[in-house]
């Protein structure tokens, strides 16, 4: 095609609302992590979001350079939307994002005629199904964009809340949008407890009444009430029975329910619940991951000084299995295993894991997490305070905002304030150079 045609095509593609234009660039580690997370939703529990799940999987696989998989997922997304919406027409505004994705994919592969065909399909849908509000996107597009940002971008969760609100205002009858709007709200304020007020709790209660089968929301509601000091034990036991009957999925409610047990009821009861779920579904990697977290909490709980050999053995077995089942997104779990080995006085095994990780090729955010964890290991297990300080400095020196960076900085500040370490001068100089 001519240069002018090519320019026009580029301009049209840039104007689309789809995953290729939503600024979803991410590190490979984050992409692998997300790919696993979406797989763990499963097809049954994530049914109403299946089209969105496949669309995002398509984009993730494209970014990972897996073009055939990307094509396959975009096709599955289109098919899922047709089945889920179950309308007389096969076409509808829910396909706007998918057709945009397909137009971009064909364009990137040099298949300009196919790309143009999908652009024409987008135009046809937009003229047949205009947005109810002239200056805004179609509610179907807002809902998909909101759901995607909620999964993809920690820094854009409040934007996801806003997009869900816009979608709901124009199309208030979509129950799953209302539920996800509340989940996005809770998510956005997860680390800001002061902001999660009575208003949000009330919204959760209303969403739960409108979506009684959503046990993930039910578990999150109980957990939020427990945080506010309410007694939830009996309701948690009752909910556990319902969750166990559900298909296995990260949407089933098992994870927030286990968090509730671990923090507010009993670690041993959490382990029993995780083991019961595994008994029913012994091959499910997601349940093995949930169980591993429970054992880790048990091992590192303060009240717990003497641990039975069987408890350690079960924890190690689970973590090793989970690492093999999530080969591309297990950095955190490898560090957990190293710390469990250290707690079992198997220091050689711990050292080996950390050395292998330190020599591996990591993204900046992964390196930050590793340096912060290794610094703590050096201090607490090996009692090497100077080397520990060096690794906290390495974590803090990576210019990327994260919990791990802030944590390393605050540890360095505390050491400097106590002024008992011969590296205090060095720490002072280092902190002065940092851009907070």
The CATH label, of 1.10.3470, 1.20.1530, 1.25.40, 1.20.950, for the domain at 139-212 is 1.25.40
Burial of 327 (0-12, 13-18, 19+ CB in 10 A): exposed
List alpha helices for 86-197, DSSP H.
Answer: 96-108, 112-128, 139-152, 157-170, 175-188
The answer to whether 337 and 293 are in contact (CB under 8 A) is: no
Mean pLDDT, all residues of the chain:
92
| H or E, element range at 434 | none
Max CA-CA distance within the chain?
A: 75
The answer to whether 378 and 387 are in contact (CB under 8 A) is: yes
In the block, residue with structure tokens 């295993």: 337
Average pLDDT for residues 128-142, to the nearest whole number?
93
The yes-or-no answer to whether 139-212 and 266-361 have a common fold is yes
Average pLDDT for residues 236-240, to the nearest whole number?
97
Question: What is the spatial distance between Cα 200 and Cα 218, in angstroms, rounded to a whole number?
Answer: 14
Average pLDDT for residues 421-433, to the nearest whole number?
90
φ, ψ for residue 27, nearest 5 deg: -70, 160
Which of 22-36, 113-127, 248-262, 304-318 bottoms out in mean pLDDT, i.e. has the lowest?
Answer: 304-318
Residue 386: the pLDDT is 94
Q: Tell me which DSSP letter residue 155 carries.
A: G
Q: How far is CA 243 from the centre of its chain?
A: 21
Average pLDDT for residues 107-119, to the nearest whole number?
95
Higher pLDDT, residue 309 or 364: 364
42 three-state secondary structure = coil
For the structural domain made of 1-130, what CATH number should be given? 1.25.40.10
Tell me how crowded residue 433 is: count the other CB atoms within 10 A of its CB. 7
Burial of 389 (0-12, 13-18, 19+ CB in 10 A): buried
Residue 419: the pLDDT is 85
E strands along 57-103, which residues?
Answer: none
Residue-wise pLDDT for 97-108, tens only, equals 999 999 999 999
What are the boundaries of each domain within the chain?
1-130, 139-212, 266-361, 367-436
For the structural domain made of 266-361, what CATH number should be given? 1.25.40.10
In the block, residue with structure tokens 């990260």: 250
Question: What is the spatial distance between Cα 59 and Cα 23, in angstroms, rounded to a whole number?
Answer: 12
The percentage of the chain sitting over the pLDDT mark of 90, rounded to a whole number, equals: 79
φ, ψ for residue 2, nearest 5 deg: -70, 165
Question: What is the spatial distance between Cα 423 and Cα 384, in angstroms, rounded to a whole number?
Answer: 13
Q: How far is CA 47 from the centre of its chain?
A: 18
Phi and psi based region of residue 221 (left: phi greater than 0; alpha: psi -120 to 50; beta: remaining): alpha
The radius of gyration of the chain's CA atoms, rounded to the nearest angstrom, is 24
- Closest by CA to 95, choosing from 79, 111, 108, is 79
| H or E, element range at 354 | helix 347-358
Residue 307: the pLDDT is 67
φ, ψ for residue 259, nearest 5 deg: -60, -40
Residue 104: the pLDDT is 97
What DSSP assignment string belongs to 188-222? HTTT-GGG--HHHHHHHHHHHHH-TT-HHHHHHHH
Residue 352 has pLDDT above 80, yes or no: yes
**235 token code pair:** 């309701």
Residues 6+ apart with CB under 8 A from 228: 201
Question: What is the spatial distance between Cα 152 and Cα 53, in angstroms, rounded to a whole number?
Answer: 12
The number of residues in the chain equals 436
Residue 216: the pLDDT is 97
Question: What is the spatial distance between Cα 96 and Cα 100, in angstroms, rounded to a whole number?
Answer: 6
- Closest by CA to 223, choosing from 208, 245, 244, is 208
């Amino acid at each position: 095609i001519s240069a002018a045609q090519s320019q026009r095509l580029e301009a049209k593609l840039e104007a689309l609302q789809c995953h290729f234009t939503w600024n979803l660039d991410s590190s490979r580690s984050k992409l692998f992590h997300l790919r696993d997370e979406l797989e763990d939703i499963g097809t049954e529990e994530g049914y109403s979001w299946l089209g969105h799940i496949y669309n995002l999987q398509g984009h993730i696989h494209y970014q990972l350079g897996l073009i055939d998989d990307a094509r396959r997922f975009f096709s599955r997304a289109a098919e899922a939307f047709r089945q889920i919406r179950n309308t007389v027409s096969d076409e509808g505004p829910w396909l706007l994002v998918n057709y945009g994705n397909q137009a971009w994919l064909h364009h990137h592969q040099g298949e300009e005629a196919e790309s143009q065909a999908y652009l024409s399909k987008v135009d046809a849908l937009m003229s047949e199904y205009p947005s109810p509000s002239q200056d805004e996107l179609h509610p179907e597009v807002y809902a998909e964009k909101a759901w995607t940002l909620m999964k993809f971008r920690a820094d854009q969760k409040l934007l996801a809340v806003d997009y869900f609100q816009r979608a709901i205002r124009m199309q208030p009858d979509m129950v799953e949008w209302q539920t996800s709007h509340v989940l996005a709200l809770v998510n956005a304020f997860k680390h800001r407890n002061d902001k999660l007020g009575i208003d949000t709790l009330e919204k959760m209660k209303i969403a739960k009444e409108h979506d009684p089968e959503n046990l993930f929301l039910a578990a999150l509601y109980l957990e939020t009430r427990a945080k506010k000091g309410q007694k939830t034990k009996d309701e948690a036991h009752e909910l556990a029975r319902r969750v166990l009957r559900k298909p296995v999925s990260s949407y089933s409610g098992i994870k927030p329910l286990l968090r509730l047990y671990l923090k507010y009821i009993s670690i041993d009861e959490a382990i029993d619940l995780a083991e019961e779920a595994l008994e029913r579904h012994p091959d499910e990697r997601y349940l093995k991951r949930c169980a591993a977290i429970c054992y880790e909490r048990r091992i590192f709980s303060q009240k717990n000084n003497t641990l039975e050999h069987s408890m350690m053995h079960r924890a190690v077995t689970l973590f090793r299995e989970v690492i093999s089942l999530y080969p591309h997104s297990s950095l955190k779990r490898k560090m957990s295993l190293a710390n469990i080995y250290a707690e079992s006085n198997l220091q050689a095994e711990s050292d080996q894991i950390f050395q292998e990780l330190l020599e591996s090729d990591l993204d900046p955010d992964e390196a930050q997490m590793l340096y912060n964890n290794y610094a703590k290991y050096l201090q607490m297990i090996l009692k090497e305070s100077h080397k520990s300080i060096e690794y906290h400095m390495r974590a803090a020196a990576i210019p990327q905002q994260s919990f791990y960076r802030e944590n390393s900085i605050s540890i360095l500040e505390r050491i400097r304030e106590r002024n008992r370490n011969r590296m205090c001068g060095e720490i002072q100089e280092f902190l002065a150079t940092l851009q907070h």
